Structure 1
Amino acid sequence: MKKLIPATIEFYERMEKVDVFGLAAQLAYFFLLSLFPFLLFLVNLVGFFPLDEDMILQLIVDYAPPQVYHLIESNLLTLIHTHNGGLLSIGIIGTLWAASNGVNAVTKALNRAYGIRPKRIFIVYRFLSILLTIGMFLVVIVALLLPVSGRMIGEYFFSFFGSSHEFLQIWETFRWVTSSIIFFIALLALYKLAPHRRVYFRNVVWGALFSTFGFQLVSWVFSFYVSSLRNYSTMYGSLGAVIVLMVWFYLFGIIVLLGGVLNAYLHERTIRKNFNGNGGAK
């Protein structure tokens, strides 16, 4: 207990240094800007992959508050009804621009957490952010395709044993495990690649686990809070769902940044422990 209080104070000071809450607000803004261009991009991919709007919404329904889900659902259906293949390039450009700004904010926070002063020029900095953003998009696409292919493979395999119905029940029960694993892998890659220094996977596992389970917990509590109060529409009118969406994005940004700060903090403590264990500098 004596060590816990100083460690908590030290961790909070690192949070203040990184400006977690300020950068989380930036992330929420860029998430909002990139959300609907990304939905437009996904809608135009429906014709190329075995996807439909239900599969896209399935990634959201387990985490988002009901108001957020209905807002995204209505806008997604509007995009589907006004489907235009020529808008694919607009969706890609808009998503890359807004989402790469969000990646920049994460990179800035992680560099501060590790005490790194970036030495890369702006063009290289932006190019790497776009590459990392594209990687995150690929993870989302895989997250959409994996449940489809996994269910098809499972049905085919268990049909030989005459238990395909039981498999479907198990699949629906543990469907959230798949999304959690993909979310964890995406965070693992983000914490590994975003900082401007060599970071090993073993040094980012705890932060990725914290953010994966933390986001699920916070989303569940926030959804319960919003559903219980039901006064956002009264207070904000037609903007109530947008306000809930922004708060949800803000909480998500805080969780993601806290995971990165936790990785940097634990890494520094390990270095200090090894340094003191070796008797300091020789």
Structure 2
Amino acid sequence: MGGRSFIRAAKRYSSANRSDAAAALTYFSVLSIFPAVLVGTSIIGMLDATATARLLDGVRGVVPADSMDIIETAVDGLQQNPSTAGVLALVGLAGALWAASNWVAAFSRALNAVDGRTEARKWWMVMIVRVVLTVIVGALVAACALVAATGQSVARAIGDAVGGSGTAVTVWGWVKWPIVLVLVIVIVALLYWLAPTLRRGFRFRAPGAALAVAAWLVASVLFGLYVSNFGSYDKTYGTLGGVIVFLVWLWITNSVLLFGSEYNASADATSETGSKVQPEAQSKAAAETGADAGPVRDETARER
């Protein structure tokens, strides 16, 4: 079923022009990502002096180099004015929540289109789901950032307490990124589960989420290699090259999120088709069996 669902998802994605919806989501992503970066770096910087640098090192592994220049510039500007970190964190938090909730709303509409449904929930229920989902996803994203940035310090402190600092740090280095990966899959699955009007069990959303995250990692690495070795964005766009690369990367991110949703929808359609065909086949077989068995019973009765 997985292979058929993947092929069907690719066909549906192409025929429905989901890349257009991904472009709209990219717009809201741009509005929300920089306030979120300001909030995250402000909070993490207050918790651990070197945490921000470690967080950026982790982000650098999946974000194209030209895109990192934009993020690092914003972070450097914040770190040069530490006295305003608290105020910027509050302003950034408000801006991030507003922009992220708009992204969630647009993503919800896109998922409804994937499912072929119109919004059936009351407007106030939509608003509640939108706000709650934004807060939950924001908290989980913050948890990912904290795990990536401050986990080593926590592991070292625990290791010092039990007399095995080096071992604790080594073990943490092994398990840190798998933990972050699982958290990211949970975030995407929550979006697939709660955002659309069509509600399916969480476990039915997880396969598409895992596929989307895996595709995002592969696409990010390949796009980074392309930009580093073959791309000519700097020559073509000059100082705007980094901005263009960043926007394309965000578009790729939103595209794979929508593809993961298409995969779930295709898997749902495949399972529903199978569940309908199976009873029909059983009924047909039972009818044929009954038709064949009738005369036999009659002949047996005559013999008696």
> Is the shorter-chain TM-score for this pair beyond 0.5, marking a shared fold?
yes
- Residue in structure 2 matched with residue 41 of structure 1 by the alignment: 39
Which structure has the bigger radius of gyration?
A: 2
Cα drift, residue 196 of structure 1: 1.0
Asked if 1:115 is matched to 2:116, the reply is yes
Cα distance in structure 1, aligned partners of 2:250 and 2:278: 42
TM-score (normalizing by structure 1): 0.86
CA contact (8 A) 2:45 2:52 kept: no
Q: Which residue of 2 aligns with 1:228?
A: 229
Give CA deviations for 1:13-70 in whole Å, capped at 9, x if unaligned.
4325654101111111111111111122224424764474224424412210111112
Counterpart of 1:30 in structure 2 is 28
Q: Deviations over 1:89-140 (max 9, x none)?
A: 4212321222222212221121122222102354543442232111111011
Query: What is the one-letter code of the residue matched to 1:15?
Result: Y
Q: After TM superposition, give the deviation of residue 276 of structure 1 in Å.
A: 1.0
- Which residue does the alignment assign to 1:206? 207
Which residue of 2 is the match for residue 257 of structure 1?
A: 258
Mapped partners of 1:170, 1:4: distance in 2: 34
In structure 2, the residue matched to 1:53 is 52
Query: Structure 1: which 5+ residue stretches go unaligned?
Result: none
For residues 6 and 172 of structure 1, the distance between their equivalents in structure 2, rounded to whole angstroms, comes to 38
- Return the structure number with greater helix share: 2
- Tell me which residue corresponds to 2:302: none
Structure 2 stretches of 5 or more lacking a match? Answer: 284-304
Cross-structure match for 2:179: 178
TM-score (norm 2): 0.81
Greater displacement, 11-20 / 221-230? 11-20
In structure 1, the partner of 2:278 is 277
Contact 2:111–2:261, Cα closer than 8 Å, also in 1 = yes
Partner of 2:19: 21
- The 10-residue stretch of structure 1 (184-193 or 47-56) with the greater mean CA deviation from structure 2: 47-56
204-213 or 167-176: bigger deviation: 167-176
Amino acid of the structure 2 residue aligned with 1:29: Y
**Structure 1 CA distance for aligned equivalents of residues 206 and 42 of structure 2:** 34
Give the Cα–Cα distance (whole angstroms) in 2 for the partners of residues 101 and 281 of structure 1.
48
Greater mean alpha carbon deviation, residues 168-177 or residues 224-233: 168-177
- 2:91 and 2:161 map into 1 onto residues whose CA distance is 46
In the alignment, is the contact (CA less than 8 A) between 1:19 and 1:109 conserved in 2?
Answer: no
> Does 192-201 or 35-44 show the bigger shift?
35-44
* Counterpart secondary structure, 1:125: helix
Worse-matched range after superposition: 57-66 or 216-225: 57-66
**Percent identical:** 26
1:168-188 C-alpha deviation (Å, 9 max, x unpaired): 344335543222111111111
1:18–1:112 contact (8 Å) kept in structure 2: no
Letter in 2 for 1:187: V
Task: Please give the alpha-carbon distance, in whole angstroms, between the structure 2 residues aligned to 1:197 and 1:55.
Answer: 40
The equivalent residue for 2:126 is 125
Aligned AA for 1:225?
A: Y
Aligned position for 2:152: 151
Amino acid at match of 1:180: L
For residues 23 and 165 of structure 1, do their structure 2 counterparts lie closer, same or farther at Cα, with a shift above 3 Å needed? same
- The answer to whether the 8 A contact 1:59-1:144 is kept is no
RMSD, aligned α-carbons:
2.9
Deviates more, 1:84-93 or 1:48-57: 48-57
Distance in 1, Cα, partners of 2:121 & 2:219: 35
Q: Distance in 2 between matches of 1:103 and 1:235?
A: 33
